[in-house]
Amino acid sequence: MDSQIHKIHQQLVDKTITCTALVQEKLAQLEQNTHNTVNAMLNTMALDLAAKVDAKIANGETIGLLEGIPFGIKDVYMLQGTLATASSNLLKNYKSAYTATAIQNLLNAGAIPLVKENCDSFGHGSSSENTIFGAVKNAINPNLVGGGSSGGSAVNVAKDYTVFSIGGDTGGSIRQPAGYNNIYGLKPSYGRISRYGLMAYASSTDCVGPIAKSIEDIRIVLNVMSGKDIKDQTSYASAEITQAQISNSEDIKTVGYFKNFIESPAIDANIKTDFLQAIEKIKAKGIEVKALDFFESETLVSTYYTLAMAETASNLSRLDGTNYGNRIEGDALKETYSVTRSENFSEETKRRIVGGNQVLSQGFSDEIYLKGLALRDTISANFEDDFKNVDIILSPVTPNTPPKIGDSLKDPHAMYLSDAYTVGFSLGQLPTLTVPQGTATGLQITAAKQNDELVLKFANFLKDTI
Amino acid sequence: MSKIMTVDILSSIKGAQPSQAVNKLFDVIKNAQPTNNNTSNNNHNNSVSINDLRDDVVIESSAIEKQIIIENFPKEKNGYLVVSKVIEE
């Protein structure tokens, strides 16, 4: 088992390292890094917490598995007393008044936050270039994008600056950067982890999730963050997933994949070949593989963006310089609102807010927004039917390898289409894990809603198979 | 509410215009044929059961939370939070 968490835990218990030395080392790596992954360092808090862990160990007290483990937080989460900028000008100086439930659960378990991580502003982007902190550079090739929107989090994990990081995934924002940086990233079932304290982008698909270097670390962090929270009424109670439960995959008999994802003219030739080879290896293990029909990529992407833009237009309406954000004074209240928003939002955020207001406005809502909702229902129904016939759906994470820094900003429509393989599972609210195997940008493993355990189980199987 | 509002007014963003990149997405939706056109019949319903609603109680914020909320407010004068001047239209 290649769990970083278990390894560091053992080193702390054996006193081969101190927590303070570990945290100092990681903080130094983060500060010196040239990948633009950092929005704010949390040195004081991290070192204080590390000293407490060291004192506990020195006193002979037992420490929990996550106690003293350093982690990163995408800069869209609240952590009381620290900046929460969403990588935006508007919230450049905004301080969290409270702590997100998922993050609080990690703090309660003793994990140590090191850094607020760079991302696309308000989660609006697939490359982590749409940020006031500079484009995040890919961990493997710094000329390429880090992926997005949780790009800083994925690069920090890939470079070992953090042991794990907490990303946010609305349409692929954990899975795609995990794929671009060859690590694991999980979007759990919608509602498994409370969204309280995560800045809302599109509330009906927003998910909190872990990014890490092993399935075991994903499992540990997922368990700690999961659970029903009175402050997010869409959250649900879930049972802990044990190591034993996911070690044997004998009950996975059938795997499906979407034919049109693979037959699409937009897919990179190598990603296609590698994906089909992975399928052959799975078949060779005696698992039945079924090619499934699914919606065209354009329909998936358009449905997702229609609904996500409508929701973000509504969610971001509070950012007006009066309730929140850097106010720029105008002659009157409405002028103040519009100057504040015009000057402080990025071009991509403005594009999405305007798109959202377009589809929500009278005369367009029936033709676009309501039809988008109906399409989403059809997509969800399609998934339900599929999971009557297969246990797992396997897909590439992206149609192509990461673009060069600068290219995505030139062509927003192409950037939207690059989310073709991730957005469908968001609309279905399904648990989906990126594994760094199979293709250059990994594979996605999806199971039926609330069946996150099966996803991890199949990931363990794949690790030994391909 | 018969007044027609343009997207720049609706969005409170000066000079905002619909973008071509986004309109291309909407065109796909306009031409799509969902098999289920009844939005009330949705199967991704996240509504909360009436038996599961949280208690209707006021929870006092902590002193630090109140302090940070005040710190975040853009403008303060003589202990009051200042909002922009509202001109009646």
Domain assignments of chain A as residue spans, ordered by start: 1-466
What pLDDT score does B33 carry? Answer: 82
Beta-carbon separation of A337 and B12 below 8 A? yes
User: Cβ contacts (< 8 Å) between A334 and chain B: which residues?
Assistant: 12
User: Cβ contacts (< 8 Å) between B76 and chain A: which residues?
Assistant: none
Alpha-carbon Rg for chain A in angstroms: 21
* A227 contacts: CB under 8 Å, gap ≥ 6: A105, A193, A194, A235, A237, A238
Nearest CA in chain A to B59: A231
User: Cβ contacts (< 8 Å) between B64 and chain A: which residues?
Assistant: 80-81
The per-residue pLDDT for range B16-32, each reduced to its tens digit, is: 999 999 999 999 999 99
Let me know: does A261 contact A395? Beta carbons within 8 Å: yes
Helices (H) then strands (E): counts for chain B? 3, 2
Cα angle for residues A266, A270, A276 (degrees, 5° grid)? 95
Chain B contacts in chain A segment 307-326 (CB below 8 A): 309, 313, 317, 320-322, 324-326
pLDDT over 90 (residue B13): yes
Nearest CA in chain A to B19: A351
Chain A contacts in chain B segment 52-81 (CB below 8 A): 52-54, 61, 64-65, 68-69, 71-72, 74-75
What pLDDT score does B45 carry? Answer: 64
Distance of residue A332 Cα from the nearest chain B Cα, in angstroms: 5
Question: CA A430, CA A187: separation in Å to the nearest integer?
Answer: 8
The per-residue pLDDT for range A183-211, each reduced to its tens digit, is: 999 999 999 999 999 999 999 999 999 99
Q: Note whether B49 contacts A: Cβ–Cβ < 8 A.
A: no
Q: Which residue in the set A313, A335, A381 is minimally distant from B11, CB to CB?
A: A313
Q: Which of A26, A56, A74, A187 is catalytic?
A: A74
Q: Mind spelling out the 3-state secondary structure of A125-193?
A: CCCCCCCCCCCCECCCCCCEECCCCCHHHHHHHHCCCCCEEEEEECCCCCHHHHHHCCCEEEECCCCCE
* Cα atoms in the Cβ-side hemisphere of radius 13 Å centred on A103: 28
Chain pair A-B, CB pairs under 8 angstroms = 178
User: Cβ contacts (< 8 Å) between B19 and chain A: which residues?
Assistant: 351, 354-355, 412
The ipTM of this complex is: 0.90
Residue bearing the bigger pLDDT, A69 or B73: A69
Coil, helix or strand at residue A339:
helix
* A148 contacts: CB under 8 Å, gap ≥ 6: A119, A120, A125, A126, A127, A128, A129, A130, A136, A173, A176, A177
* DSSP single-letter state for residue A366: I
Residue A149 a catalytic site member: yes
Distances from the Cα of A459 to the Cα of A227, A452, A453, A454, angstroms: 22, 11, 10, 8
Let me know: does A168 contact A205? Beta carbons within 8 Å: no
Distances from the Cα of A355 to the Cα of A320, B6, B45, B74, angstroms: 18, 12, 24, 28
Q: Are strands A164-169 and A184-187 parallel, antiparallel or unpaired?
A: unpaired
Beta-carbon separation of B11 and A350 below 8 A? yes
Confidence of residue B52 (pLDDT cuts 50, 70, 90): confident
Count Cβ neighbours within 10 Å for each residue of B41-61 and write b for 16 or more, e otherwise.
ebebeeeeeeeeeeeeeeeee
Structure tokens at B73: 């407010």
Helix, strand, coil % in chain B, rounded to nearest 5? 35, 5, 60
**Largest Cα–Cα separation, chain A:** 71
* A249 contacts: CB under 8 Å, gap ≥ 6: A457, A458, A460, A461
Q: Note whether A196 contacts B: Cβ–Cβ < 8 A.
A: no
Nearest CA in chain B to A372: B29
Chain B contacts in chain A segment 363-382 (CB below 8 A): 367-368, 370-378, 380-381
The per-residue pLDDT for range A146-192, each reduced to its tens digit, is: 999 999 999 999 999 999 999 999 999 999 999 999 999 999 999 99
pLDDT over 70 (residue B36): no
| Residue A313 CA to its chain's centroid (Å) | 21
Place of tokens 């590390």: A50
What pLDDT score does A116 carry? Answer: 98
Report pTM: 0.96
What pLDDT score does B53 carry? Answer: 82
Beta-carbon separation of A354 and B13 below 8 A? yes
Nearest CA in chain B to A413: B21
B24 forms beta bridges with none
What pLDDT score does A334 carry? Answer: 87
* Cα atoms in the Cβ-side hemisphere of radius 13 Å centred on A446: 29
| Interhelix angle B20-31/A370-389, nearest 10 degrees | 60
Backbone angles phi, psi at A418, to 5 degrees: -70, -10
Cα angle for residues A112, A124, A314 (degrees, 5° grid)? 105
Residues of chain A predicted below pLDDT 50: none
Q: Which residue in the set A354, A368, A376 is minimally distant from B44, CB to CB?
A: A376
Residue A173 a catalytic site member: yes
Question: CA A319, CA A267: separation in Å to the nearest integer?
Answer: 38
- CATH among 3.40.50.20, 1.10.540.10, 3.40.50.1000, 3.90.1300.10 for A1-466: 3.90.1300.10
A74 forms beta bridges with A117
Backbone angles phi, psi at A442, to 5 degrees: 85, -170
